[in-house]
Structures are given as structure tokens and as C-alpha cells.
Structure 1
Amino acid sequence: MDTNRLIPLLSEMAIFVNVVDSGSFSNTAKKLGVSPSSVSRSVTRLEEALEEKLLERTTRQMRLSSTGQEVYQLCSDMLNSAKLAVSAAQSDRSRISGPLRVAAPKALSRQVLMPMILEFIETYPNILLQLKVADHYIDPIGDEVDVIIHITDAPTEGLVARKITQYRLVACASADYLAKHGTPIHPEDIASHNCLCLGENPRDRVWEFTNNQKKVSVNVSGSFTVNHSEIRREAVISGIGISVFPEFAIQQYLDSGKVIEILPDWHVGGRYQGQVVAQYPQSKFIPAQIKTFVDFIQEKFREQ
């Protein structure tokens, strides 16, 4: 059997070993988080590819055929070799060491990056990580920072830029607030609502919306102004008014129904949205801790 036909069977072989070791399809299914029928199909595909019956099954029991015993042993050896390969790769983590200085925006650090960073510290204990949280521009050279993570559609020129993910801004309110005051159906309707702003500069009271070629700017006002997304979010959940948040700061509350997105067909303009980019100085030799950290964070976002 050539390699192209063999590679797709590797996962089937691993499942076959799990079935034999656990003693049933259902036990393997629970372990892998799939259905018993999916496990059964994997074993059947392996048998069909090898043109041999590996398991003799009845309604009450299951046992290996003579060919199945030999195939099981070889597949088990393969799985053990794979485990050794993973162990060998993980053992290199102890060799990655040294200081690592990372800068990132406050809200993104607190609400998204921290669990990833804590896991990174546990995974690479010999890296000495210093996190600098700041919403203003960080100069990696002047501020002595190795990696900057920021939200921007215009990455800093002259630096390596690795896109991690992308976020948009979301206008939202609680169901209670909308029930009492009505749901805006056009951006201009927001002018009559209690809008909770950042208050960092006068432009924070001008909310901009676009829909294809349509552009609408709305002067808003409200009873509460605060430049802290978590405090503002609590006010919105409590039914105080409408506000705008970066997607990462509000997504779980949208999912749970604690808040409701308004004007979903309109794009909300403003800061704190766009690409999440990791940047570091260009160099022929990138320190291992920098590359390892950026790869790690990128993979964690990919998993999400």
C-alpha cells in the first residue's frame, strides 16, 4: 500500500487500538467524544482497506481475529511511537528560556489574553514573561518590548506582523432596556436613547454607522460615561442603556442572552476593532521565546 493510501488510515488504526484496549465501541466513543457508530465505521473502513476481518463481533462480545491480533500489535506499536514523538517534542520546552517582554491593550489582556498567557507560563516555565498593559502606542525599540499585540488594520511598518484574529464593534443593550425604551431600527433612532460612552475624547459621543454605501453619524448622550469596558458592560447588563463594545468583551453575554445586539446590519465605526496583530522587530535571528510565544497565542486563538 502506497503512502497516499496509508496516511488516511492512521487515525483508523489508532481508533482500532482504542476499541481493543477499552473493550467496546461505546467506551471508545465516550473517550473520543464521538458516536459509537462513528467508531464502528472507522474500524470497518480499516478492515475494508486491509481486506481482512479484524474483529469478530456478536451482540454480546467482541474478540480479535487471528489477523486482527497481529494488526493490533503493530498498530499499538505505531501509537506508542507517536506518543514518544510527542514526548520528545515537549521535552524541548525546557530548553526554551530567557526573558520575554510583551505589550497588549488593557481590555484584551484582561478578558482574552490572560488565560492563554497563564497556560504559556505553565508550559514554558523557563521563560521569564513580563506583560505590559497599555492602550497607547508602544514602540518595541524605545519601550524595550519584544512583542506588541494590538488591534489595528494598519500594522506598524518595519515590524514583522502576524495576524492572530479579527474583532468588530458591537452595539448592544439588555432585553429589559429594549422592552422599556424600544429597539432602534435605524442608527438615527439611537439619538433618543441613553447611550453609555467612553468619554476619552469628544469624538466618543459621535457614533458612526455604515451599511454598504450608506453612512450615518449620530450625536449621542447618556447618564453614565466610563472608560472601562467591564464597568460599562455591567451597566448595560443592568439595563441602564445602550453601548458599544469590542466583540471580545461582549460575545459571551450575547451568546447567553444577557445582552442583545442592535442594528446588526450596520457596521459600527470606531477604535478597538480590526485585526489583532502580533508584531516584533525584524531580524535574521528571531529569539526562540518570541517565536514560541507568538506561535502559541496564534494556535490558542485558532482553537477558539
Structure 2
Amino acid sequence: MDTNKLIPLLSEMAIFVNVVESGSFSKTAKKLGLSPSSVSRSITRLENALEEKLLERTTRQMRLSTTGQEVYSLCNDMMNSAKMAVSAAQADKSEVSGSLRVAAPKALSRQVLMPMILDFIETYPNVALQLKVADHYIDPIGDEVDVIIHITDKPTEGLIARTLDECRLIMCASPSYIEQHGMPIHPDDIAQHNCLCLGENPRDRVWDFSHNLKKVSINVSGSFAVNHSEIRREAVIRGVGISVFPEFAIRSYIDSGEVVEVLKDWHVGGNYQGKVIAQYAQSKFIPGQIKTFVEYLQQRFQA
């Protein structure tokens, strides 16, 4: 196929890649701002030009033909090359600019990242930053995110990982609660206390502790459960009960004396602890706004 005939098919190939990745004509149409019929016509034009059936469609499902699988792989390489071309151009810019899409957990975003992000966009006004706040796993490719920031000991494979900080879980109660109910001295004592959980699933009511080689799991109960760290923190400050928080959510309240740490010598297990990591896709050319943003966060966390 000569170049004159190939060039018009490049957009059809890009649409084809999007259809395969989304698994739906309607989702692709919504994403690209097209009508479903327009997307369908693009796929038909590509199939006619290649004289091959790429997608096997029924009323309920769609799957790649054998030829379609090979064509998709090559078209996907084409899309990745196009992204690299854009990245190469952006990487050479002396002035940091462009769009930047970032995803991070809710509590970390609200209580730690927001001041840094606001300072960043003030320092780099030519960067258009979009923040996606979510506690569930974010796929940087499928969700079209440039940088994901999460708290984990297992970074997502295949992505560049930059450590920003460390975060551990801390168990706390108010001085008034401890005065009234006593200070636990062993994890077994926790079962007798009013424990404030996340309440997202039954496992939230099993608290794990470790100390050297000792491991203990305690079934807890309490009068209040909420999957919002700031609300649970307010309940703890008011003496309602004992709860567990990421260190960044409670450290300043420990320092001020509004709450006290419980079972300091024991490690508390659970989610939202580990390394605070920024991750982004591997590429020969990393856009300047991504590199600058991650380096900026590293400096702020280390300050």
C-alpha cells in the first residue's frame, strides 16, 4: 500500500486501538467525542482497506480475529511511537508546560499533597494539572493518568517508581478516653475497647499486630465505623474510642497532645502504610512536566 493510501488509515488505526482497549464502540465514541456509528464506519473502512476481518462482533460481545490480534499489536506500537514523538518534543522544552494528570488516594491528597500541588501550579503556571482522587487501583494506561501516587510496598510492575516518603500506621486515643478506660498494654486488651473501624469490609474488624517475631490478630468491635480518616480522627479526639491512622493523618495531633499513641512497641498491620511512591510510564523521552513534578514532590517531602 502506497503512502497516499496509508495516511488516511492512520486515524482509523488509532480508533481501532481505542476500540480494542475499551472493548466497546460506545465507550470509544464517548472518549473521542464521536458517534458510535462514526466509530463503526472507521473500523469498517480499515477492514475494507486491509481486506481482512479484524473484529468478530455479535450483539453481546466483540473479540479480535486472529489477523486482528496481529494488526492491533502493530497499531498499538504505532500509537506508542506517536506518544514518544510528543514526549520527545515536550522533553526538550526549556519552559515547563503542558498537561499533567495525577492520581492519588483521598486522604493523602487532602492532608498532604494539596499544599504541594497548589504550590507547584503556582510555580509552574503553564502546566495544566488535573488531579484524580481515588482510593481504588488506578491503571495509568487505561485511566489515562501520567503519574500515580500511592502508599504501597509493592510498586506497580513495568512503571518507573520514585520513593517520596515512608508511612506507617499509628493507633491512637484521646487522653480523656485513656483516663476513663485505661491504657492497653497488650493487643489482647484491644478487644475490650471501643474500636473505630473503616467499615468497608468484614476484615476491617480484624486488627493485626506484630512485635519482633510475635504476631497477634484481634477481633474488634465499636460503636462507630467510617471510611474517612478526618471524621474518625474527630471522633477519637472527642474521646469516642481507639482507631488506627496513617501517620500523616495523625502526627500533628500526637505532637500537640490532643491524642496519644497506643501500643507504641507494636507494629499495626493494614492498608495505607508502606512507601509513598510516585510512578509513571517508562519511556525514552519523559515529558518535562512529569519529571519536574516528581522531582518537586521529592524535594518537598524531604524538606
TM-score normalised by structure 2 residue count: 0.69
Structure-2 residue corresponding to 1:121: 121
* Structure with higher RCO (Cα < 8 A, 6+ apart): 2
Structure-1 residue corresponding to 2:107: 107
Mark the CA change 1:97 to 1:126 in structure 2 (over 3 Å): closer, same or farther.
same
CA distance in 2, matches of 1:218, 1:170: 16
Equivalent residues in 2 for 1:152-163, closer than 5 Å: 152-163=152-163
Structure-2 residue corresponding to 1:199: 199
Structure-1 residue corresponding to 2:260: 260
Q: CA deviation at 1:94?
A: 8.0
Q: Do 1:94 and 1:124's aligned partners in 2 also have CA atoms closer than 8 Å? A: no
Count of residue pairs the alignment pairs up: 212
Mark the CA change 1:232 to 1:93 in structure 2 (over 3 Å): closer, same or farther.
farther
Give the aligned residue type for 1:259. V
Structure 1 vs Structure 2 CA RMSD = 1.2
Give the aligned residue type for 2:213. Q
Listed as ranges, the gaps of 5+ residues in structure 1 are 1-91
Give the aligned residue type for 1:102. V
> What's the secondary structure of 1:224's corresponding residue?
coil
Give the aligned residue type for 2:157. E
> What's the secondary structure of 2:253's corresponding residue?
helix
Q: Do 2:102 and 2:149's aligned partners in 1 also have CA atoms closer than 8 Å? A: yes
Q: Deviations over 1:193-244 (max 9, x none)?
A: 0000000011100000000000000000000000000000000000000000
Q: Do 2:165 and 2:275's aligned partners in 1 also have CA atoms closer than 8 Å? A: yes
CA distance in 2, matches of 1:93, 1:266: 50
CA distance in 2, matches of 1:270, 1:96: 38
Using the aligned pairs only, state the percent identity.
Answer: 76
Question: Structure 1 runs of 4+ off > 2 angstroms?
Answer: none
Mark the CA change 1:292 to 1:124 in structure 2 (over 3 Å): closer, same or farther.
same
Listed as ranges, the gaps of 5+ residues in structure 2 are 1-91
Equivalent residues in 2 for 1:162-181, closer than 5 Å: 162-181=162-181
Give the aligned residue type for 1:205. R
Q: Do 1:146 and 1:290's aligned partners in 2 also have CA atoms closer than 8 Å? A: yes
Equivalent residues in 2 for 1:279-290, closer than 5 Å: 279-290=279-290
CA distance in 1, matches of 2:233, 2:113: 19
> What's the secondary structure of 1:240's corresponding residue?
coil
CA distance in 1, matches of 2:234, 2:103: 26
Matched, 1:182 2:144: no
Structure-2 residue corresponding to 1:225: 225
Structure-2 residue corresponding to 1:46: none
Q: CA deviation at 1:93?
A: 9.9
CA distance in 1, matches of 2:168, 2:157: 23
Structure-2 residue corresponding to 1:21: none
> What's the secondary structure of 1:95's corresponding residue?
coil
Structure-2 residue corresponding to 1:275: 275
Q: Deviations over 1:143-195 (max 9, x none)?
A: 00000000000000000000000010000100000000000000000000000
> What's the secondary structure of 1:198's corresponding residue?
coil
Equivalent residues in 2 for 1:17-36, closer than 5 Å: none
Equivalent residues in 2 for 1:139-158, closer than 5 Å: 139-158=139-158
CA distance in 1, matches of 2:231, 2:153: 27
